[in-house]
């Protein structure tokens, strides 16, 4: 008869590596709170709907511009740090709908002192002076075309 031993992972190393020791307990408390929500331990009996108390330090209380408040909370000092390697890797805003994600993205992009550039793609080839006179259209699938820069073509939808 075979025996087995069960091991439980009790330390979330991803949350603690490279962190300031004074913040580790706060990070652990937040991670445990999120886990408790996911496991239904917060808010009483859960029949598909429940009330959860959100800690004041993570609650956005600005009724006039909550997106701006959220961006300031998550991406504090964004203009000073957007060139810093790893700045965006440590931050994320999750949105419930694509429309909300688009609003957040538009607001974030408006903060940067850059010109907006749109890159277009095409699902078909067109000949131009930069392409040899004879080419085989079958060599280029739409997957490849969507990543190519198309020169000398007018792209219409």
> What's the average model confidence in pLDDT over 12-18?
71
The structure tokens listed for 18 are: 């490279």
Lowest-confidence pick of 29-38, 99-108, 123-132, 133-142: 123-132
Residue 108 has pLDDT above 70, yes or no: yes
Q: Is the pLDDT of residue 10 over 50?
A: yes
Output the pTM of the full model: 0.50
* Cα pseudo-dihedral 93, 98, 99, 104, rounded to 10: 20
pLDDT at residue 92 greater than cutoff 80: yes
Domain ranges of the chain: 1-58, 60-115, 118-157
């Amino acid at each position: 008869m075979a025996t087995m031993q069960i091991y439980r992972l009790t330390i979330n190393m991803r949350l603690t590596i490279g962190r300031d020791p004074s913040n580790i307990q706060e990070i652990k408390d937040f991670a445990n709170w999120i886990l408790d929500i996911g496991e239904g331990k917060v808010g009483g009996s859960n029949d598909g709907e429940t009330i959860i108390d959100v800690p004041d330090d993570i609650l956005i209380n600005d009724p006039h511009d909550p997106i701006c408040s959220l961006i300031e909370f998550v991406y504090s000092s964004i203009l000073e740090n957007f060139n810093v390697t790893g700045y965006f890797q440590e931050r994320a805003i999750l949105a419930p709908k694509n429309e909300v994600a688009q609003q957040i993205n538009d607001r974030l992009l408006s903060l940067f002192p850059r010109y907006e550039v749109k890159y277009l793609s095409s699902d078909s080839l067109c000949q131009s002076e930069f392409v040899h006179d004879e080419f085989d259209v079958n060599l280029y699938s739409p997957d490849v075309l969507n990543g190519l820069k198309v020169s000398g073509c007018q792209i219409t939808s």
